[in-house]
Structure 1
Amino acid sequence: MERGKKDRKDYFEVPYAALRCLVEPAFSERSVMTHSSYSKKARVVISTAKIASSTQIITDDGEIVPYDFLVISNSKVVAAQSILIMGGGPVGVEMAGEMVTDFPDKKVTIVTASSRLLTFLGSKASDKCLKWFKSKKVDVIFNDK
């Protein structure tokens, strides 16, 4: 997504599924998920936050939305001094890699509930990924949510 453009989609595309979709077109139905399908207890709000406090946001149309967790993205990333990425799977690892490549002076931390990164791959790949992150001064916190 280009900087400054708003992501107003109500779905998530699994980016690493694209190659499988080329081989098995029917798989594409499983590679796109609405946010509400995996966030059963969450309310998905697609809007711009005008004001944010520690417990709620006010959207650009004046709606007050209380929250437990707030995710800030896009232009806020550029201004941030540190970035916290939740998840050590392919998307989290890719995001961390992009962050330290494009913003080498930012403090990047990955938190994963697993005991290693990229658990669906072998330990050799996990070890190589962790070694690269350490060389880039990325903090990785295992076994935590």
Structure 2
Amino acid sequence: MIVVAVVSAGWFLLGRAFDDSLVGGPVSGAVLVWHPGMNSGGPDQRTNTNAADARRLAELVNDTRDLPRGPITCPADFGSTVRVAFHTPNQQDQAVTIALSGCAGLPGRMMSDALHADLERLAPPGYWPQRLT
């Protein structure tokens, strides 16, 4: 029985080591803080999402792929970001920062087209076209 417990614990820890999701648990909402970056006037702006949008955004964040290995060039990096704080019931908020220019995406991960489209839809009115083109 002890061997079974050790093997079970080992599989549990091994599975957790390969779990690279950034947002865990049931997401009930999110707050997005939009930072325009350098060369863009104006203060940070804040938007909120409903539970369905927050769950979709969390899934898209978790589905991002790692950047390819090797040298990478990130042209036109203006430093614009969005910090997303995901609300999960009875837990501390889980926050991720997503670059919106240059090598857009999460640190070490690429932004998918679906994540880009959702962020564009959730951005404050007029934010995307003027600040990120």
> Whose RCO is larger (CA < 8 A, sep 6+)?
2
Scaled by the length of structure 1, the TM-score of the pair is 0.22
Scaled by the length of structure 2, the TM-score of the pair is 0.23
